[in-house]
Amino acid sequence: MKLLLISLQSNAYVAGLKYIGANARANGHDVRILLLPGYIDSSLHPAIEDFIRDYNPDLIGISLMSIEFYPAKILTHLLHEKFSIPVLWGGVHVVLTPDECIKYADYVCCGEGERAVVLVLNHLRDKGRDVPPEVPNIWSRINGQIIKQPLSPPEENLDSLPYQEYLPEYYYFFHNDRIYNFSRHPELFRRYALYGGTCHMMITTRGCPFSCGYCANSSLVSVYGKKIRERSVENCLEELKAVKKDPYVLYINFEDDCFLVHGMKWLKKFTEEYKKHINLPFMVRAIPTMVDMEKLFMLKKAGLSWIIMGVQSGSDHVNFDIYGRKVPFAVVKKAAELVSKSRAVPYYEMIVDNPYETEQDMIETINAMSTLKKPYTTSLAHLTFFPGTPLTQKALKDKIIDPEAYLHRYMIEIEKTYFNKLLNITPYIPQFAVRFLNKTEASRKWLHSFLLQILHFVVRRTVEPAVYLFLIARSLDYKPDWIIRTIEGNWRSAVSKVVPNYPGKNDLKYGKKLTYLRKTMPELFERD
């Protein structure tokens, strides 16, 4: 059986589809992955139509985040017009809103998809599409009737699943009105991949120990449970050894919600084996309450270069009472001190554009961030109200949000407010300057706004990139060969500190296209 997996996202990192594709291939099925970055149109491009017709798949799977809901709906309609091939939707958005998604697809996967997709392929081979598949996690829509199968328990043995490849030979993409194979055109893959393709994105666990009120994990926990499932060290090393064969890979980017959730025994074995067999710089994500000196320095010795830590707000009131995130800023500050001592690059994530946040909350956040030990970097994300989360339910009840905003606005598209600009440059200017500028709207003078405008423009294009490059050099222990390789291979991220939002430029283009089409072709965005 032939399986075509389609991604509409604007970058080439498609871990979910790689896992599903690898498992389908391991079970004897033929697979192709097709990246249609930001594709949304009223007709199917001839190159895409020819590619699908030539391959002639038995099943088309579309993976979607919430921002890709309308593009997926439109593409599915176009596919149904041209082909009699069943279409299956999967991904986070489907898990969050299966009742909405089944209106447009023939099948939707409401849980983990590796095994479910294989079972659907087997069903289509053995019984055809007129018989609803009795496959856990799969809902079907046949002749207008919706058949819902129960959820299967989350996969406990992650080692039983084939690992994802860095650049599979069966990975294709749509570029300049043509379909290319990424493995035959790696230079184009690097244009579409995050960080210029220098990072291999890897997951060693599934699940998150937190259920923050704003996060989709608070809704997903009802499907996947609260238990953190982990791969064995041996299984992780197997993937990493295969990845290291590609000389273009400079970093390993562990995408786990919190890498430090691993126990000391696992981490000790992992760091020893990683240093011995892989020896590449790597980055991890961490929750402040789990930052531990022994774990941190063990990882640094093995090659830890970056540590990404969610702070979200410097206001305990916002974190506790609005976000349901029980992490006091005092704990964040303590964790930040340990990160600074480790000499890994500190990268702190913040949430802005929160309608429940007051001016005093923002002032407190900015003052708190100004007390963290420099140097460090930050990223700001627009608060997105995902369906089903406690915060979204409250906001809908209070009628303060557009219930469809999450379907057409990217998180990196933040408001250009006074406080957001000040928070952006807080890591790079003296604390006294932050205190001087950190005023309520009522107490600001024209001088405050004028100085902030000048500082924001200058700092984002001079001081920030300089700090960014210094942190990279320090995290690599000032090794000239690694610094040069990192700059050569990862220059897009360096440019991002001169041209704001450069890594997300494709996302922003996609967002602008969605906004434009919603105005000019509203019929594409109508609900059935």
The residues that bridge with 2 in the sheet, in sequence order, are 30
| HSE (side-chain half, CA atoms, 13 Å) at 186 | 12
Coil, helix or strand at residue 62: strand
pLDDT of residue 502: 40
Q: pTM (2 decimals)? A: 0.91
Q: What is the pLDDT of residues 152-186, one digit of tens each?
A: 999 999 999 999 999 999 999 999 999 999 999 98
Q: What is the pLDDT of residues 84-114, one digit of tens each?
A: 999 999 999 999 999 999 999 999 999 999 9
476: pLDDT strictly greater than 50: yes
Nearest one of 440, 455, 354 to 400, comparing CA atoms: 354
Question: Which segment of 1-10, 132-141, 219-228, 235-244 scores lowest on mean pLDDT?
Answer: 219-228
DSSP letters for 196-231? GGTEEEE-SEE--S---TTSTHHHHHHHH-SPPEE-
Name the pLDDT band for 496 (thresholds 50, 70, 90).
very low
- The helix (H) or strand (E) run that includes residue 115 is helix 114-127
- Edge to edge, the sheet with strand 145-148 lists 145-148, 138-142, 107-109, 87-90, 59-63, 2-7, 30-35, 171-175, 178-181
Task: Provide the residue type at 69 as one letter.
Answer: F
Name the pLDDT band for 503 (thresholds 50, 70, 90).
very low
CATH superfamily of domain region 193-497: tm_1862 like domain (3.80.30.20)
Q: Which two tokens stand for residue 71?
A: 């593009």
**Following CA atoms 267, 270, 276, 280 in sequence, which dihedral angle do they give, to the nearest 10 degrees?**
-90
**Following CA atoms 335, 341, 345, 349 in sequence, which dihedral angle do they give, to the nearest 10 degrees?**
20
Please state, in angstroms and as integers, the Cα–Cα distance from residue 379 to each residue in 31, 313, 348, 426, following that order: 36, 12, 6, 11
Provide CATH 3.40.50.280 ranges for the chain.
Answer: 2-160
Residue written as token pair 């074995």: 269
Q: What is the pLDDT of residues 402-431, one digit of tens each?
A: 888 888 877 888 999 999 999 999 999 999
Average pLDDT over every residue of 461-469: 90
CATH of domain 2-160: 3.40.50.280
pLDDT of residue 481: 78
Q: How many whole angstroms separate alpha carbon 103 and alpha carbon 87?
A: 12
pLDDT of residue 409: 78
489: pLDDT strictly greater than 80: no
Name the pLDDT band for 208 (thresholds 50, 70, 90).
confident
**What percentage of the chain has pLDDT greater than the value 90?**
72
Coil, helix or strand at residue 72: helix
What are the two backbone dihedrals, phi and then psi, of residue 201, each rounded to the nearest 5 degrees?
A: -85, 125
Provide CATH 3.80.30.20 ranges for the chain.
Answer: 193-497
How high does pLDDT run on average in the chain?
A: 90
117: pLDDT strictly greater than 80: yes
Q: How many whole angstroms separate alpha carbon 244 and alpha carbon 267?
A: 20
Average pLDDT over every residue of 493-500: 43
369: pLDDT strictly greater than 60: yes
367: pLDDT strictly greater than 50: yes
Question: Which segment of 86-95, 192-201, 295-304, 448-457 scores lowest on mean pLDDT?
Answer: 192-201
Q: How many whole angstroms separate alpha carbon 512 and alpha carbon 159?
A: 41
Is the peptide bond preceding residue 375 cis, with omega within 30 degrees of 0?
Answer: yes
pLDDT of residue 128: 93
Q: Exposure pattern of 350-359 as b/e (b: 16+ CB <10 Å)? A: bbbbbebbee
Q: What is the pLDDT of residues 391-406, one digit of tens each?
A: 999 999 999 998 888 8
Residue written as token pair 């498609």: 14
Residue 177's CB: how many other CB atoms inside 10 A?
9
Q: Which two tokens stand for residue 436?
A: 């001087």
Nearest one of 338, 350, 340, 313 to 328, comparing CA atoms: 313
pLDDT of residue 195: 79
Nearest one of 14, 478, 493 to 281, comparing CA atoms: 478
Question: Which segment of 124-128, 230-234, 389-393 scores lowest on mean pLDDT?
Answer: 389-393
441 CB burial (10 A radius; 0-12, 13-18, 19+):
exposed
Nearest one of 472, 471, 470 to 489, comparing CA atoms: 472
**What percentage of the chain has pLDDT greater than the value 70?**
95
